[in-house]
Structure 1
C-alpha cells in the first residue's frame, strides 16, 4: 500500500514511531485513556484528557472510535493521530 506522505519526513517519522511505541503499552485501554496516560508520561507534550478531546474535536477526529481499545486501531489511524499531535506540538512550540 501507499505510504502516507506524513511519514516521508524523518522528524515526522520519528515522532510517529515514538508515538506508537508510547501508546502500545496501553493497548488494552480505550484510545482516549491511552492517549491520556501517554501524555502524562511524555516530557514534550503534557495534556489533560479534556485538552486531548478538544484537540481531537478541532481536527474532526472525535467519534465513537476514540472509545475503542487501542489494539483495534489500524496503522492509518495511528498515522492520523500522530499527525494531529505533531501539529499541536509544533504550533505550541512556535507560540501559535
Structure 2
C-alpha cells in the first residue's frame, strides 16, 4: 500500500461545534490511518493558537494553519510566514477607508 498524506478540516469535519469534541469514530479513523502508515494533518484557515486544543483530543502528525501561513510537523514549525508590520498597517488603513471589518 502506498503511504498517503491525509488532510482534515476542523469545523464540522473533524471537530463538532455542537459537542465541542472530536467524535470517537473520527478518533478511531485517524488512529487506523496512522497505524496503516499514512500521515494525518489538520488543515484549517484558523491560526494555530485556535487549534492547539485538538492535540488533547486526537493524535495527528501536524497542522497546516492560517491559510497555509504556518506548517507544523510533529510539534515542530517547518514553515511560518507573517505579514511585515508596514504592510499590516497599510491593510488596516484600507480596511478603515473602505469601512471593512478585518
- Normalising by structure 1, what TM-score? 0.25
Larger Rg, first or second structure (1 or 2): 2
> What TM-score results when the alignment is normalised by the length of structure 2?
0.24
Higher relative contact order (CA 8 A, sep 6+): 1
Hey, which of these two has a bigger chunk of strand by percent?
A: 2
More helix by share: 1
